[in-house]
Chain A
């Protein structure tokens, strides 16, 4: 069965080609979705890629949230479809209220582009099921607004309900500290690098698994995440493709 994974392209997306490549390496078929289309062309899962959607001038992700394609993505998510937002895609999902919290300016005030280690906190989710062993993953980050924050009630609830999928960590797997710890590249609260919604079918993460899917890229530690999404989408297909969702 061919699994079709939509990769949304906003004006200013710049990791969309990496996402397309990652989907293909993971055994899926990538379908490019333009921001002006509210229909998702019947895809089986969606990736919102990295970049600077609409320039991110006002606030990262806020304009993209109001784009036609996000109406389709919201309807798809409400129907239980799997949506993965990476970096700018995470910011868009947070602005849309599809994942909890907000991505603030990095605590160090600088754009950070380097490799970090993230520790998967759950191996049983649609986004982590194919990772295999619980070991730190070496993934690149490249962002200026990646400091995850939520008020204490929300943060507690997210922890309690197991919605934290990834945390920044040291190479040995110990969780990173606050902004003073270089292992936490942006000062994220509780070293959160990736979270899901309460239902578990929408997730956002700041590091870039899609640019770490082949040895030639320096790391293939991200492949398990992309493969998880493809597997989850395949399962959804095997249950029967639902009627096209999303407003026309």
Chain B
């Protein structure tokens, strides 16, 4: 076994007017708070 990576999964419930608005909130949180872009990558999954 090699190349093991451990990640973090955070599930959020967001109150927003649209799925796009909710996604925008989560993407901002993912980039500014939940991850440090210097060392981490964040991706957002959710309602399109």
B38 touches A62 (CB 8 A): no
Tell me if B41 counts as interface (CB < 8 A to partner A). no
B34 CB to closest chain A CB (Å) equals 7
A95 touches B34 (CB 8 A): no
Chain B interface size, under 10 / 10 to 19 / 20 to 34 / 35 or more? under 10
Return chain A residues, CB-CB under 8 Å to B34: 58
Return chain A residues, CB-CB under 8 Å to B38: 101-102, 149-151
B43 CB to closest chain A CB (Å) equals 17
Q: Which of A57-104 contact B (CB under 8 A)?
A: 58-59, 62, 66, 95, 101-102, 104
B36 touches A95 (CB 8 A): yes
Tell me if B48 counts as interface (CB < 8 A to partner A). no
A102 touches B33 (CB 8 A): no
Name which residue of chain A comes closest to B36, CB basis.
Answer: A102
Contact of B39 among A58, A66, A102 (CB under 8 A): A102
Return chain B residues, CB-CB under 8 Å to A58: 33-34
B45 CB to closest chain A CB (Å) equals 19
Return chain A residues, CB-CB under 8 Å to B36: 59, 62, 95, 102
B26 CB to closest chain A CB (Å) equals 15
Return chain A residues, CB-CB under 8 Å to B39: 102, 104, 149
Interface centre among A59, A101, A150 (most CB of B within 10 A): A59
Name which residue of chain B comes closest to A66, CB basis.
Answer: B33
Return chain A residues, CB-CB under 8 Å to B33: 58, 62, 66
Binding site for B on A (CB under 8 A): 58-59, 62, 66, 95, 101-102, 104, 149-151
